[in-house]
Amino acid sequence: MNSLLQTRGLTLKFGGVVAAESIDFDLKAGERLAVIGANGAGKTTFINMVTGYIKPSAGKIMFDGVNITGMHPRQIVLQGIGRSFQLPQLFTEHTVRQSIELAVAARQGPLSMLRPMSKCVERDEIDHVLSVVGLSQRADDHCDSLPEGHRKLLDVAMALVLRPKLLIMDEPTSGVAADEKHPLMATIMNALSEQNVTAVFVEHDVDIVREYATRVAAWISGRIAADGSPETVMNDDEVRTVVLGH
């Protein structure tokens, strides 16, 4: 199977500091990749390069056969890479439904903003995505009233209506109560499976990684130190010492 996402020689330097060093990486469609590592290890730097927020110093990024190196974030979204953030990027003055409608309108381009919202979106599509992320009962609630877990789900929903092939999530369970983390991740992963979306997620909770990842990449000092099944990576000596603190 061909790679959905591929990097070759991906490097980022800030003066004399190497934040990412010649990263060769392949992601297959359908994988659930957890990215782990200590703060400053290079996880977010890698994600920012893939999603266009940082331009690499050297190397190439291919997505679904297209060279996306150096593209603007909006162009990369249009290619099929979605992203949700550690701090959800929401329209707090709007309701949950309105926020998803705005995301659909953004998908359809600037001209859609000149038409009434009811002409831009299909209600069935909005209802469906609300259902798959478990927010149907909160459709008319304002975003600023949502608890953190529901904010995370709405952020994912807004990414899903952009119809990505790949969704990259930055710490989807951060800020969520311990007893809500597993239900949250189960809902997200079920939604991605239903939409046939490949997933990459940065995560610090080892139990979440073991439960929901099919593959783990451990970052140490700007490089991928270990890459494989959760069991293999979690038992790697360097990962246990530097990342897990065992």
Count the helices and strands in the chain (H runs, E runs).
10, 10
Q: Which CATH number covers residue 71? A: 3.40.50.300
List beta partners, residue 240.
Answer: none
Say how far apart CA 58 and CA 100 lie, in whole Å.
Answer: 36
Residues 6+ apart with CB under 8 A from 244: 206, 234
Domain count for the chain: 1
Beta-carbon-side half-sphere exposure of residue 51 (alpha carbons within 13 Å): 20
| pTM, full prediction | 0.89
Instruction: Identify whether the C-beta of residue 25 lies closer than 8 Å to the C-beta of residue 5.
Output: yes
Beta-carbon-side half-sphere exposure of residue 112 (alpha carbons within 13 Å): 15
pLDDT by position in tens, the chain (length 246): 579 999 999 999 987 788 888 999 999 999 999 999 998 888 989 999 999 999 999 999 999 999 999 999 999 999 999 998 776 667 778 899 989 888 888 776 654 555 555 556 678 889 999 999 999 999 999 998 999 999 999 999 999 988 999 999 989 998 899 999 999 999 999 999 999 999 999 999 999 999 999 999 999 999 999 999 999 999 999 999 999 887
Supply the range of the domain harboring residue 7. Answer: 3-243
Say how far apart CA 58 and CA 87 lie, in whole Å.
Answer: 29
Please report how the helices 148-160 and 178-195 are oriented relative to each other, as an axis angle in degrees rounded to 10.
10
> What does the chain come to in residues?
246
